[in-house]
Structure 1
Amino acid sequence: MNLIGAWRRRQRHREQLYGPKVLLPGGPEQWIENSLDWLIGRFGVEPLRRRPVLPSQFVPAGYDGSEHAARELCLKVCAWMEVPDDRIRFSFRMEQVRAAARSAAVHRLHAEQGRDPVAVSGLRATMTPAEVDVLAAAGFAAEIGVLAERELHAEVKRCTAIRAATDPVRRAELSRRAEAIWSTPAGSGSRAAWLDLRSGGHRGTAVMLSASTLADPAAVVAATAHELGHEVLWGYHLIDRGRPDTEALTDLFAVFHGFGIFLANQAVERVPGRRSALQTLGYLGERGACDALAAYTFRRHLLWPESLLPVMPAEVDRAVRIRTFARLATLVKDAELAAIQEGAPLP
């Protein structure tokens, strides 16, 4: 048995589960510091002066898992992050809307028989045109229209590439990638999405959440805080959407505004009594979210004379607590060494 190979495979598996989901320039720790510098330069230090958002205080005691309660929680996140909510449409039927949009795109593909790619398309409709119309009439016409146009464009591009490929190996690879998309339900694996409805000629933007988040208010808060990062960073054209680290920066934006406990606790979904993780959520991963929470806490301490360890221990999961406090200890030690070398007061 190759013990070294097995160990390396296990380490890669753990990194996929717990580490950042995107490549972060300079490594996660340096990227977090550089990105926090950028956020402070762009938004000032006021978000750091406020206390971190604690789940026990932020989530109403009477939260009942209804769409109304979840929408009120979303609006509360908006208020805390000081993001205007008058042009944001919050909804909790993301799976249905995405299925309707894909189905609408498929119906258009088949209706426009002049399109050459239709012959190789394997995109499937799961809703009839009448069912799509019913959902659109229920208030989701704007979201369905924007997403359907996106689905149609992506499918035509995929199929055109397959038809144009002359190399059999390349064609097989393109077909394999397309089949993976065709066989996966629209929007699967995602808890939330932000849409710029203005691209379809409509007013405002939309934050769509999965119905599966309704039962867990912490998931509603974490997902909403992330999507509101898109509302600010993308909606106000502060960063390029093509940046490879844009999703991770959006996670960090939520941490910067005090929602780090929610993001770190939600980064990995565990089964009680089992050590293995079921699902990873977010883009910083548990390790990145913990490191970001530690950096956020340390920077708050430098700005505001309070304990490095506020009331967080009772609010964070055990694994998150261990990782966060270990990184926080490293940040304190590094700052003390730097202060000693420079002859400056200790932080």
Structure 2
Amino acid sequence: MERRTTEPRHFPMNLIGAWRRRLRERELLYGPKVLLPGGPEQWIEDSLDWLIGQFGTEPLRRPPVLPSAFIPKGYDGSERAAWELCVRVCAWMEVPDDRIRFSFRMEEVRAAARSAAVHRFTAEQPRELVALSGLRATMTPAEVAALVAEGFDAEIAVLAERELQAELRRTTAIHQETDPNRRADLCARAEAVWSTPAGSGSRACWIDLRTGGREGTAVLLSATTLAEPAAVVAAVAHELGHEVLWGYHLIDRQRPDAEAVTDLVAIFHGFGVFLANQAVERVPGKRSMLQSLGYLGERGASDALAAYCFRRHGLWPESLLPVLPTELDRAVRIRTFARLATLVKNAEISSIQEGAPLR
């Protein structure tokens, strides 16, 4: 009988490439969106140490914020109901709400700001730069003026100045570049900005109105969050992290991990369930498409929630995850439990080595 030899199995390179692309896509979707020095796990531990040094352990001594208890039963999706929810988040994070302007027309305000920037850019800049610009106005000056008259003058002024300066930098760089390849790369990067609506992919933004000579700050939220109170809470908790960190100059805004630290501030103050559950959501109108929200991602937020629970357990002799399982989405729950088990195991090993029992 003829013997058959088993040949090594070779996979087409296109299948291997597709598999690698899928892994990268999953990491982009579920993992942290910024580089975390030392790796996510070590970065979380180091950053929590820093937060405790800044704020003490009091935030950890308060119970975690649970959606079932924090969101009013009668929440109706109105701007008034969402505003009251924003004020509740302020109270929990001990941020004075009288210095913050909350509104739910982020898309309109950002479109108005970009349009105002385009009108100014066209009127003020040299022809050679105007010819290179692909930034487009979607509102007429009259429409921008109408939004200003409704009370959004401060927000539009600050955002328009940002848009104007960013476009000036882009077009100047393109104009000055003599290398064809680098110039093409700059144009491609600029086109990615020009073709994307202002503020798209974001649920909220924090604006320091003092940069425009005004008092206080503003938090703009997308109208799409109104129907989801948990999304309102997650977005506001993150933006109030900016109020705490940037408003009081605790960190440099240019830090590569500044946005991730802001996510962690919200988790440190008890809003980890909201941020972890809201880290990935379905794109409206597209059944199978998901989009990532926040900067720690679902994995980073779950790991941070586990570290938060572990540190609370060190302060209070209670269950490591008191009542949280029923509040967490399945994927978040699995990840949080796994990381918490690792933290407990590492602590047990450390206590054995040091000859002290783990509580």
Q: TM-score range by the shorter chain?
A: over 0.9
1:14 positional shift: 1.4
Tell me the distance in 1 between the aligned counterparts of 2:356 and 2:75: 49
Shift of 1:67: 0.6
Report the counterpart of residue 60 of structure 1 in structure 2.
72
Q: Is the 1:32–1:292 contact (alpha carbons within 8 Å) kept by the matching residues of 2?
A: yes
Residue number in structure 1 paired with 2:163 = 151
Q: Contact 1:53–1:261 (CA<8 Å) still a contact in 2?
A: yes
Matches within 5 A, 1:244-259: 244-259=256-271
Equivalent-residue separation in structure 1 for 2:267 and 2:127 (angstroms):
46
Q: Deviations over 1:4-34 (max 9, x none)?
A: 5444333222111110000000000000000
Aligned mates of 2:218, 2:84 — CA distance in 1 = 15
Aligned partners of 1:270 and 1:276 also within 8 Å = yes
Provide the C-alpha distance between the structure 1 equivalents of 2:213 and 2:117, rounded to a whole number of angstroms.
Answer: 18
1:188 aligned residue:
200
Native 8 Å contact 1:298 1:331 kept in 2: yes
- 1:336 is matched with which residue: 338, 342, 348? 348
1:242 equivalent in structure 2: 254
Shift of 1:271: 8.0
- Answer whether contact 1:17 1:277 (CA < 8 A) is retained: no
SS at match of 1:14: helix
Superposed, 1:91-240 pairs within 5 Å as 91-112=103-124, 114=126, 116-240=128-252
Decide whether aligned partners of structure 1 residues 277 and 302 sit closer, same or farther in structure 2, where only a CA change above 3 A counts. farther
What TM-score, normalized by structure 2, do the two folds share? 0.94
SS in 1 for 2:249: coil
Which residue in 2 is equivalent to 1:278? 290
Is the CA contact 2:283–2:291 (under 8 Å) kept in the aligned structure 1? no
Q: Which amino acid aligns with 2:234?
A: A
Residue 208 of structure 1 aligns to a residue whose secondary structure is strand
Counterpart code for 2:76: D
Match of 2:316 in 1: 304
8 Å contact from structure 1 (residues 109, 115) kept in 2: no
Match of 2:5 in 1: none
> Given the alignment of the two structures, is residue 264 of structure 1 paired with residue 276 of structure 2, yes or no?
yes
> Distance in 2 between the 1:271 and 1:320 partners?
19
When residues 276 and 302 of structure 1 are mapped into structure 2, their CA distance, relative to the original with a 3 A threshold, is farther
Amino acid at match of 2:136: R
- Letter in structure 1 aligned against 2:242: H
User: Which residue is 1:14 aligned to?
Assistant: 26
C-alpha displacement at 1:270, in angstroms? Answer: 4.1
- The corresponding residue for 2:85 is 73
Distance 1:114 1:271, change over 3 A: closer
Residue identity matched to 1:319 = A
Moved more, 102-111 or 196-205: 102-111
Q: Structure 2: which amino acid aligns with 1:65?
A: G
Cα distance in 1 for residues equivalent to 2:300 and 2:289 = 16
Q: Separation in 1 of the partners of 2:287 and 2:268?
A: 30
Structure 2 CA distance, aligned partners of 1:161 and 1:174?
A: 8
Amino acid in the other structure paired with 1:311: V
Closer, same or farther in 2 for the Cα pair 1:309/1:180, shift >3 Å?
same
> Which structure would you say has the larger Rg?
2
Tell me the matched-pair count.
346
Amino acid at match of 1:324: T
The code of the aligned residue for 1:143 comes to E
TM-score by length of 1: 0.97
Question: Does the CA contact (< 8 Å) of 1:103 and 1:128 recur in 2?
Answer: yes
Structure 1 CA distance for aligned equivalents of residues 112 and 204 of structure 2: 16
Where do 1:289-328 residues align within 5 Å? 289-328=301-340
Which secondary structure state, in structure 2, belongs to the residue aligned with residue 344 of structure 1? coil
Aligned in 2, Cα 1:316/1:340: closer, same or farther, shift over 3 Å? same
Aligned identity (percent) is 80
Question: What SS class does the counterpart of residue 218 from structure 2 fall into?
Answer: strand
CA RMSD, aligned part only?
1.6
CA contact (8 A) 1:268 1:277 kept: no
